[in-house]
Structure 1
Amino acid sequence: MNDLKLSPCLLRKPRTLWRRLLLLGVLAALLSGGLAWSQRETLGLAARGYVFGYPLVLADLTRHDFVSDIAPANRLVHMPAFPDADYRVFVRPNVDTLYTQAWLDLDAGPWVFEVPASQRYLLMQFLDAWSNVFASLGSRTLGSQGGSFLLVGPHWDGQVPAGLTLLRSPTRLAWLLGRIQTNGKADYPTVHAIQAGVRLRSLQDWQQGSASPALPFAMPQSSRPAPLYQMRGLSAQDFFARLATLLQDNPAAPADSAAVAELRQLGVRAGAAPQWNWLQRQTVRLGIWLAGREMQRALQDTQGLVNGWREPPLHIGDYGTDYGLRAVVAMAGFGANLAADAIYPNANLDGQGQPLQGGRRYRLHFAAGELPPARAFWSVTAYDGDGYLIANPQGRYALGDRDPLRYNADGSLDLWLQREAPAAEQQGNWLPIPPSGPFSLTGRIYLPERRLLDGQWHMPAIERL
């Protein structure tokens, strides 16, 4: 069955995805005898529909948990401190920046969003309900000047007041995910002062000079599983019914017309839950299973890796019709930003192509002059098999150029990846990993230099000791 393994480049092409999933489905049907040949088209439609709709449904689950447990819609929330290993709001949180978030219902707007002038690296990105970045405000686009913006939904038709720049979301729901460079815990007060200058309020409040204070982030006390786990638990009927509801106010882009037509063939229409007979339900269920299986395989596929690292394509965050990439990114790191703002290479294999495993010892060696080419700063973070921070007594989840790292005499740098503490002289360069099970690394390179964007620089291989 190795010839059926789906590479990331194949997953990014819906038609190729369909052919792979169809072949897998036919083989499954022949083996089980439980699927009529007449349902082969439904199988492909279900698989492709799941990939297409995955980020929209995940966005809604994430939004629902946020507004239920953290803050109401249209209110800013500032994270006052770094997340720890208990943080489950979304996968692969970083410990380089303090977050600012808000889930927006733009039908209740318009809203005025203000970014303060700052010499710090900051990024205030707005994602639509499909996880595409429709606005990127910060160091790259605004420099150190800041700005004031009128944030509206797709159907708003009005006059933009003087002093405001229009930002239009293509969907009713939108997500603000902001990051401000934070140089360790001692730097919190400086960052809090910058956060205080980030404001979100209704147009009416802005015109009247009324404030809408941001809320401090607090870990939710709900026992509800994280959105990623909720996605895994949705039945086929629930997934597509939720997708149909969301399509009413968060329409697909005009370029998605073919994918929307396929959803209609499957019986999924905006505002209308699908009605399937027993055989169709089983077929759709199998299609979702096959699609999820292939998405997981794509995350593990070694084709296209460089030194064991998977480098995100430059159109990440602006996917167009690259539905496979969009779905896999949502699964692995929901809320990805544009590559021009930051690049996040990921590795779950060592330099020999073997999976990274907790309990072993590894080294990440940067040759002299080959440190990550960042115009702002860089880091390396360790995550468990599900993409969450790894609990450790030191509370150390990442290392980077703002840490007091010890460089070798020739200017090179070694980072030590292991569970137990290394020798005393290496402990400043030690990144703890789990005692067992898979783990992964994510590099973060903020405001990457052109040589990284042009493919002239790559992360070095991880060496097993």
Structure 2
Amino acid sequence: MNTSENRQKRSIARSWLWVGLVVLLIVGGILWSQMSTVRLAAKSYVFGYPLVMTDLTRNSFIHTVAPANRLVNMAQFPEADFQVFVRPNLDTLYTQAWLDMDAGPWVFEVPASSRYLVMQFLDAWTNVFASVGTRTTGDKGGRFLLAGPDWHGQVPEGMTLLRSSTRINWLLGRVQTNGKSDYPAVHAIQAGISLRSLDDWQQGTVIEALPFQLPKQLPPSPLFEMRKLGPRAFFGQLSMLMEDNPAAATDVAAVAELEQLGVRVGEGEPRWNWLQEHAVAVGMWLAEREMNAALESPKVLVNGWNKAPKHMAAFGQDYGLRAVVAMYGFGANLAAEASYFNAKVDARGEVLQSGQRYRLHFAAGELPPAQAFWSLTAYDMNGYLIPNPLHRYALGDRDKLVYNPDGSLDLLLQSEAPGEQQLSNWLPTPRSGPFTLTVRIYLPTQRLLDGQWQMPGIERF
């Protein structure tokens, strides 16, 4: 190849290099010009996530399980083959209803009961705005009037007004259930819980609760439906929902950021150009990645346990926590009702694995400080119950546990059954793969809420 040809090829290469640099600068400039949009989209997605998730969850329920404004009672605990939702609770049976406050107001009645129960009402943003039951109203029961923000009628004598700031509300109630043999007692309590419109109550019309029944064909999960929403669909839905389910007065800055993004209450889908829409999509992707990271890698572990924050279900302006809970713990209790500890590692920080034997040791006087009761449940890594010959999926203070002579307690976590003398304290773990644990402490003491009591580490032996 002669010198002239070499010079020509070098000249062509330099030309392409300059073209590449120019394109890179143009693309970089365009991306940089949209960085503010990406940031606003990420923050706004986190802010609005719970409201859209509420709407998706409500729609799924009322189209497949029960219509809106009807009370639904769960009659029994799930077994190990139950895989409809993750981390099922084996402590309480549920009572629930999705309420449209514009069709109300609603009269809600709870019977007198000496056992622990809580009937919590969540607004459309997943904050608990009212809680009825053992902690707040004692064991005498009561009659309550649930009203939306625009109702200004007369509260009938003998009723307590519970006021919501949003049109959509969710009643999620729990009644303490001490195993399968306790079902009849719980069913009797559920039979005394009622929900009906004020008009029906005044006319003496009885509205029977419905039994909880899973649909023959399960719908896609709300989480799956959420991930299908593109930028215009998500923010358009958020815009329309905020018309009847307004943000709190303290959310004024977040609402202003939505407006900067082009999302205005009641206007539906934003009018973005192609570049803006793709910048918003990037922001949504980044936000969801951060939400998943926060769930998978908690910032603070004590003895290997992650504790739910004290402001759970009363989130205030902690929009990040509110969104993460909406994603993977929808319908969480107030911390004062129940505190949760979750672990997927032992005291040494190593992942909990099948084939290993573990012990959870509570020193004398250091049992979970519950004013009601506590439980420990094991799940596989997908959040499902673990099959075992005893059909035992949880242990707690209502079980016939064997305590050590000094008053301490050892719970054994392993796949193989221990000796006969230790069988009552055995919680089966999977025969293969990692697993996780959840401790639920109902009506925790102030000592726990203030962080003075912590779960002990899980020891391998």
Say whether residues 1:212 and 2:207 are aligned partners: yes
Whole-angstrom distance in 2 between the partners of 1:224 and 1:345:
30
Bigger CA drift: 372-381 or 269-278?
Answer: 269-278
Whole-angstrom distance in 2 between the partners of 1:407 and 1:400:
12
* Aligned partners of 1:91 and 1:333 also within 8 Å: no
Bigger CA drift: 135-144 or 215-224?
Answer: 215-224
* Aligned partners of 2:64 and 2:219 also within 8 Å: no
The alpha carbon displacement at 1:276 in A equals 2.4
Whole-angstrom distance in 1 between the partners of 2:388 and 2:28:
49
Bigger CA drift: 204-213 or 232-241?
Answer: 232-241
The alpha carbon displacement at 1:325 in A equals 1.2
User: Which residue in 1 is equivalent to 2:318?
Assistant: 322
- Tell me which amino acid in the other structure corresponds to 1:383: Y
Matched residues, percent identical?
67
User: Which residue in 1 is equivalent to 2:40?
Assistant: 45
The alpha carbon displacement at 1:332 in A equals 2.8
Equivalent residues in 2 for 1:385-396, closer than 5 Å: 385-396=381-392
Aligned length: 436
Say whether residues 1:284 and 2:280 are aligned partners: yes
- Tell me which amino acid in the other structure corresponds to 1:106: M
* Cα 1:98/1:353, change in 2 over 3 Å: same
1:57 pairs with 52, 74, 84, which one? 52
Whole-angstrom distance in 2 between the partners of 1:394 and 1:221:
28
User: Which residue in 1 is equivalent to 2:346?
Assistant: 350
SS class of match (1:72): coil
Equivalent residues in 2 for 1:375-390, closer than 5 Å: 375-390=371-386
User: Which residue in 2 is equivalent to 1:130?
Assistant: 125
2:412 pairs with 416, 424, 427, which one? 416
TM normalised by structure 1 equals 0.88
Cα shift readout 1:181-202 (whole Å, capped 9, x = no counterpart): 1110000000100111111011
User: Which residue in 1 is equivalent to 2:421?
Assistant: 425
* Aligned partners of 2:121 and 2:129 also within 8 Å: yes
- Tell me which amino acid in the other structure corresponds to 1:349: V
Whole-angstrom distance in 1 between the partners of 2:234 and 2:80:
29
* Cα 1:392/1:200, change in 2 over 3 Å: same
2:447 pairs with 436, 442, 451, which one? 451
* Cα 1:35/1:98, change in 2 over 3 Å: farther
Whole-angstrom distance in 2 between the partners of 1:392 and 1:262:
51
Equivalent residues in 2 for 1:47-446, closer than 5 Å: 47-85=42-80, 87=82, 90-271=85-266, 272-446=268-442
Whole-angstrom distance in 2 between the partners of 1:122 and 1:319:
23
* Aligned partners of 1:92 and 1:333 also within 8 Å: no
Whole-angstrom distance in 1 between the partners of 2:257 and 2:82:
37
SS class of match (1:293): helix
The alpha carbon displacement at 1:169 in A equals 1.0
- Tell me which amino acid in the other structure corresponds to 2:104: G
The alpha carbon displacement at 1:400 in A equals 0.6
SS class of match (1:36): helix
SS class of match (2:34): helix
SS class of match (1:383): strand
TM normalised by structure 2 equals 0.89
* Cα 1:231/1:359, change in 2 over 3 Å: farther
The alpha carbon displacement at 1:275 in A equals 2.7
* Aligned partners of 1:112 and 1:148 also within 8 Å: yes
Whole-angstrom distance in 1 between the partners of 2:200 and 2:71:
15
* Cα 1:139/1:413, change in 2 over 3 Å: same
Whole-angstrom distance in 1 between the partners of 2:247 and 2:331:
18
The alpha carbon displacement at 1:412 in A equals 1.9
* Aligned partners of 1:368 and 1:411 also within 8 Å: yes
Specify every segment of 5 or more residues in structure 1 that has no aligned partner in the other structure, as ranges: 1-28
SS class of match (1:51): helix
The alpha carbon displacement at 1:393 in A equals 4.9
User: Which residue in 2 is equivalent to 1:4?
Assistant: none
The alpha carbon displacement at 1:33 in A equals 6.3
* Cα 1:91/1:105, change in 2 over 3 Å: farther
Cα shift readout 1:160-214 (whole Å, capped 9, x = no counterpart): 1111111111110000010011110000000100111111011111111110000
